[in-house]
Amino acid sequence: MPISATTTKTSPSNGSATVQPRDLRLAGIALATLLCVACASSTPPTATDTTADLATPGSVGMVDIRELVPDIDADIRYAGDDNFTGTRVDGYDAAKCYLLRPAAEALARLERELRPQGLRLRIFDCYRPERAVRQFVRWAADPRDQRTKAAYYPALEKGSLVPGYIADRSGHSKGATIDLTLLRCEDASPARCEALDMGTPFDFFDPRANTDHPHLDDAQRANRTRLRDAMARHGFENYPMEWWHYTFRLQPPPDTFHDVPIR
């Protein structure tokens, strides 16, 4: 039976409009349609939801630094067990450095600038999936596991590492932060390069790792300053508590964090 275009009738007694049952049904259908449209236009899932396992860093705008500098020195510590947790870290399925393209291109320019000076970069970490950060926090909260204390935090209690040294949300998960050092090379061969003395190893959780720690010798201070000045020329800012930690000036908004595994 066809639906009439007229949806109201006038009452004979007072001339007012009365709503018929079919009008209520049509109104309900219209409301449901509006609600569905609102659901469809809501904010799409971020890279931190379960679909992250089907994505790659490239799918969220990142590039492997070796696409720009194929022979760059990369010692990605969290892809193996040579790190403060003593084990391979969640999300590091490959020893690769991914960065957002503007940060990667800036780093490539710096590498090209350094080589004629007999210097190179050595990369320890770049983009870091959120699942790795969660593993770091769980590790810090477990007082039973002290395997790496002597090498990484000899003067501090493990539980005190959060949040000063280990954050529960890391800028690395945005794709614009990098951990690295400088190498001095005798010739063009990467095999003839040695890391400059920075006063502490990478990921050494101690005040001596603070970039401007007062008890550095002249060579260590000069090496940290040289790294910081070089990074600053290409748009990277140092985190004062860690001489190795730098963030590119063009980074995503504060609420952008990714959990895409490194493959």
Q: What is the pLDDT of residue 1?
A: 41
pLDDT tens digits, 18-62:
444 444 343 443 433 333 333 333 333 344 444 566 688 999 999
What's the average model confidence in pLDDT over 73-89?
98
Q: Could you give the percent of the chain with pLDDT greater than 90?
A: 72
pLDDT tens digits, 115-145:
999 999 999 999 999 999 999 999 999 999 9
The verdict on whether residue 179 carries a ligand-binding annotation is: yes
Q: What is the pLDDT of residue 186?
A: 87
The verdict on whether residue 259 carries a ligand-binding annotation is: no
The verdict on whether residue 172 carries a ligand-binding annotation is: yes
Q: Which residues are catalytic?
A: 242
Q: Is the pTM of this model over 0.85?
A: no
Q: What is the pLDDT of residue 51?
A: 57
pLDDT tens digits, 237-254:
999 999 999 999 988 888
pLDDT tens digits, 165-207:
999 999 999 999 999 999 999 876 677 899 999 999 999 999 9
Burial 66-93 (b: 16+ CB within 10 A, else e): eebbeebbbbbbbbeeebbbeebbbbbe
pLDDT tens digits, 214-236:
999 999 999 999 999 999 999 99
Which tokens hold the place of 111?
């590498």
Q: What is the pLDDT of residue 248?
A: 98
| CATH class of domain segment(s) 50-248 | alpha beta
What does pLDDT average to over the chain?
85
